[in-house]
Amino acid sequence: MQDERIKILDKEFEISIPEDRIMKAIDDMAQQMNEDLKGKQPLFLCVLNGSFMFASDLMKRITLPCEISFMKLSSYEGTASSGKIKQLLGLNEDLKGRTLVILEDIIDTGLTIKNIIEQVKVFEPSVVKVATLLFKPEAYKENVTIDYKSLIIPNDFIVGYGLDYDGFGRNLKHIYTLVSEN
Ligand code: IMP
Ligand code: MG
């Protein structure tokens, strides 16, 4: 077991979702997908970097004939404003007529996923489903339908299991929450 409390860069975090709960959530999601998408050959689209662990553990539990592809949003230096559209990189499969399942690590305000869906739809898939491991309902501002959301969490900053704080913490097998600084 990793330490209950850890330090990453300048901040303290404590375990909030241990590995076994994450795995149970992914088991349940995979089971649901295996039922819902029976007869389909979905193409899973993993949004890098944060979703790499989630996508990996989820895919091992999918029993449908399926494919996976990876995509990334371009990032801005310095002047990134939350309202800007980031370009999706890495979409080179033929998406036309496909059943897509977008895999996100976390949906916070929803701006990123809204952006991704708009760009993916240009390729004319027949179905676009959205799956996120983590969801912060208090922060969510969009009205995009999220088909699969496993772990509903408060509006706190978390790291681990693919999610980072300034690039660090992605390797942790549990999810940790920032310890309040006041
Ligand atoms: P949204 O556009 O506000 O929904 O933000 C989504 C993105 O912000 C995610 O893909 C993450 O990269 C990042 N993010 C949101 N909340 C957290 C968090 O608590 N820890 C680490 N990254 C987060
Ligand atoms: Mg992400």
127: amino acid identity, one letter: V
The protein residue with its alpha carbon nearest to ligand 1, atom 12, reads 50
| Closest-CA residue to 107 (of 75, 131, 80) | 131
Q: Specify the 3-state DSSP secondary structure of 41.
A: coil
Q: Rounded to an integer, what distance in angstroms lies between the CA atom of residue 176 and that of residue 169?
A: 9
State residue 3's pLDDT score: 76
Instruction: Report pLDDT for 82.
Output: 54
Does the beta carbon of 169 sit less than 6 angstroms from any atom of ligand 1? no
Ligand nearest to the CA of 140: 1
Domains of the chain and any CATH numbers = 19-72+89-153 (3.40.50.2020)
Q: Classify burial at 177, counting beta carbons within 10 Å of its beta carbon; exposed 0-12, middle 13-18, buried 19 or more.
A: middle
pLDDT of residue 79: 46
* pLDDT at site 80: 44
Which residue in 115, 160, 123 sits closest to 142, CA to CA?
115
Specify the pLDDT at position 86: 80
Ligand 1 pocket: which of 51, 106, 178 to mutate (most atoms within 8 A of CB): 106
The 10 Å Cβ neighbour count of residue 46 is 24
Q: What is the dihedral of CA 168, 55, 119, 134, to 10 degrees?
A: -70
Tokens, residue 133: 């491991």
Q: Spell out the per-residue pLDDT of the chain, length 182, in tens.
A: 567 999 999 999 999 999 999 999 999 999 999 999 999 999 999 999 999 999 999 999 999 999 999 999 987 654 444 556 688 888 876 899 999 999 999 999 999 999 999 999 999 999 999 999 999 999 999 999 999 999 999 999 999 999 999 999 999 999 999 998 76
